[in-house]
Amino acid sequence: MKDLYEILGVKKSASADEIRKAYRKLARKYHPDVNPGDDKAADRFKEVAAAHDVLSDKTKRKAYDEFGDESLRQGFDPEKARAYRQWQSGRQRSGGTPYEYEVNDFTDLNDLFRGFGGRARGPRKGPDVNGTIELELGQAIRGTQVTFEVPRKRGPERVKVRIPPGADDGSTLRISGKGGDGAGGGPRGDLIITTKVRKHPLVSRDGLNLYLDLPVNLDELYNGASVEVPTFSKSVSLKIPPRSQNGSKLRLRGKGVARGSKSGDLYVVLKAVLPDQESDELAAALREAKGAYSKPVREGISL
């Protein structure tokens, strides 16, 4: 729809007097009595009158400035629209994890609050409500419970949702009958949740497999060692073979992501950490260690 201010030829900041003068000028120009038989002029006159009807009323103008064309729909309630907008920008009440919503398949904002009044149009299913939940990687792997608020006629309903173990970034979960209210006795829509998993500083994920960057010292790399490896359930023991190279991958079978009857593997990536304190003895030992290489370490490298 064309902007109402443009129809009257005034700025959005125009005063009530400027709007009134612009309307009178255009009304005289396009009045049917001045343009008999001119359908285009008649349509323009109706357009000007409709724009003036909204912009000359303080309440209607405020709603139009705030919600645009949506405010022109029959039965539009700005208070309900503001309540919906505040709810939409809410935060999850459980653990402070942020979430956001979208509402699909409704004619206007008031459809979300069906049952508040208005003409009945037969039973209609309520709109689906889409929620996006942000999870830590550990929450996604172990599973967790979150709480969403869905607006209802008598106040928001708190819906507890169990995120199953193994959820991935972009996974969706549909909760039947927990979306927007229906109309005329129609059923509620569904609540559809999409998970967004935050990146972990040490662990990456590929399907059901996990990759853990494990810091190790030079002694553990060269001489081998048994070390404790943290997982998202409990620590497990890992044997590092002697003469392991920096970046080597060691696999722990079945210690990745569990989803249903399937479990992935955990790949431990060895990351050498050099001593952070100066030591003349260590420096001398490393210089002497040069002779232990069977060939130059950069032999054969070219680009």
On whether both 8 and 101 belong to a single domain, the answer is no
**Identity of the amino acid at 223:** N
**Bigger pLDDT: 34 vs 227:** 227
Instruction: Tell me the mean pLDDT in the region 23-36.
Output: 89
Lowest mean pLDDT among 24-38, 74-88, 175-189, 255-269: 74-88
- CA proximity to 230, closest of 196, 200, 275: 200
Residue 94 lies in a domain: yes
**pLDDT at res. 232:** 92
Query: Is there a single domain that holds both residue 139 and residue 125?
Result: yes
Bridge partners, 205 (sequence order): 210
What pairing do the DSSP bridges indicate for beta strands 191-197 and 129-135?
parallel
- Choose among 212, 142, 146, 207: nearest CA to 173: 146
Provide the pLDDT for residue 83. Answer: 58
Mean pLDDT across 202-230:
95
Residue 33's domain spans which residues? Answer: 4-72
- Say yes or no: 90 and 159 in one domain: yes
Taking the C-alpha atoms of residue 295 and residue 301, their distance in angstroms, rounded to an integer, is: 13
Residue 36: how many other CB atoms lie within 10 Å: 8
What whole-number distance in Å separates Cα of residue 172 and Cα of residue 167? Answer: 9
pLDDT tens column, 238-252: 999 999 999 999 999
Taking the whole predicted model, whether its pTM rises above 0.85 is answered as: no
- Residue 291 in any domain: the answer is no
User: Is pLDDT at 75 greater than 60 in this prediction?
Assistant: yes
CATH number, residue 99 = 2.60.260.20
> ∠ CA 203-140-164 to the nearest 5 degrees?
150
pLDDT attached to residue 138: 94
Q: Which amino acid is at 121?
A: R
User: CB-based burial of residue 74 (10 Å sphere; 0-12 exposed, 13-18 middle, 19+ buried)?
Assistant: exposed
DSSP-derived pairing of the beta strands 209-216 and 266-272: parallel
pLDDT classification of 103: cutoffs 50, 70, 90: very low
Do residues 238 and 268 make contact, with C-beta atoms less than 8 angstroms apart? Answer: yes
Contact 213, 229 (CB under 8 A): no
Q: 30: phi > 0 → left, psi -120 to 50 → alpha, else beta; which?
A: alpha
Please, what is the average pLDDT of the chain?
84
Q: Which residue do the tokens 């009958």 mark? A: 177
Q: How many domains does the chain have?
A: 3
- What is d(CA 243, CA 229) in angstroms, rounded to the nearest whole number? 19
Give the span between the Cα atoms of 4 and 96, in whole angstroms: 42
pLDDT at 114: 45
Quickly state the pLDDT bin for 76 (edges 50, 70, 90).
confident
Please give the share of the chain, as a percent, with pLDDT higher than 90: 49
Provide the pLDDT confidence category of residue 68 given band limits of 50, 70 and 90.
confident
Count other Cβ atoms within 10 Å, centred on residue 134. Answer: 16
pLDDT of residue 256: 94
Predicted pLDDT of residue 130:
84
Chosen domain end from 39, 72, 105: 72
Q: How confident is the model at residue 33 (pLDDT cuts 50, 70, 90)?
A: confident
For residue 293, tell me if it sits in a domain: no
Note whether 180 and 239 are same-domain residues: no
Using the predicted structure, report yes or no on whether residue 95 has a pLDDT greater than 50: no
Three-state helix/strand/coil letters over the chain? CCCHHHHHCCCCCCCHHHHHHHHHHHHHHHCCCCCCCCHHHHHHHHHHHHHHHHHCCHHHHHHHHHHHHHHHCCCCCHHHHHHHHHHHCCCCCCCCCCEEEEECCCCCHHHHHCCCCCCCCCCECCCCEEEEEEECHHHHHHCEEEEEEECCCCCCEEEEEEECCCCCCCCEEEECCCCCCCECCCCCCCEEEEEEECCCCCEEEECCEEEEEEEECHHHHHHCEEEEECCCCCCEEEEECCCCCCCCEEEECCCCCEECCEECCEEEEEEECCCCCCCHHHHHHHHHHHHHCCCCCCCCCCC
Q: What CATH number does residue 21 fall under?
A: 1.10.287.110
pLDDT of amino acid 121? 58
- Check pLDDT > 90 for residue 17: yes
pLDDT digits (tens, 9 = 90+) for 114-167: 444 444 457 888 888 888 889 999 999 999 998 888 877 777 888 898 999 999
Is the pLDDT at 93 greater than 50? The verdict is no
Listed residues 48, 72, 96: the one ending a domain: 72
